[in-house]
Amino acid sequence: MADDFLPDPATPYGERVRRRLREDVVIWLTTVGSDLTPHPNPVWFLWEGDSVLIYNLTTARRVQHVKRRPRVSLNFDGDRRGGDIVVLTGTAQVSQGEPPPHEHAAYVAKYGAMMARVSGTLEQFSQRYSVPLRVRELRARGS
């Protein structure tokens, strides 16, 4: 099964993790810089079963971080009371052969209006955010 890394979907936690992967708009991607400092960044993402796709600016430092140290974490905001914690860990890499964001139907369905608001047109967004990172070998934990 593509999402074997996730908790059991029959449990409330497992269902909540899947819902957040489908519906949340922002996830925090944490990479490790050259000075070994963690660098968390809020990013748009698309869950695709066994991986997460993130489009990035060509100048985003996280792209260079991933090239040097591919282990990353992804986490959602909690509920402000220490609950609803979801942390994913995995291995990221620049992913060759991905469609540009404006040609990725599921990405456009999720972010199309925001893409246009950020960059003017979907095509302009794709020009700016042209570096796809794919996070695989995911493992989940939380409460």
Which of 5-9, 48-52, 113-117 comes out lowest in average pLDDT? 5-9
H/E run at residue 103:
none
9 vs 4, more confident = 9
Query: Tell me, what's the pLDDT at 96?
Result: 92
Domains, the chain, in order of start with CATH, read 12-142 (2.30.110.10)
Q: Which residue's structure tokens are 């999720």?
A: 110
Query: Tell me, what's the pLDDT at 44?
Result: 98
- Reply yes or no on whether the pLDDT at 83 is more than 50: yes
Mean pLDDT to the nearest integer, 18-43: 96
Query: Tell me, what's the pLDDT at 140?
Result: 85
CB-based contacts of 70, cutoff 8 Å, min separation 6: 91, 92, 93
Query: Tell me, what's the pLDDT at 9?
Result: 87
pTM summary value: 0.92
- Reply yes or no on whether the pLDDT at 79 is more than 80: no
Q: 3-state SS of the chain: helix, strand, coil percent to 5?
A: 30, 30, 35
pLDDT in tens, 120-135: 999 999 999 999 999 9
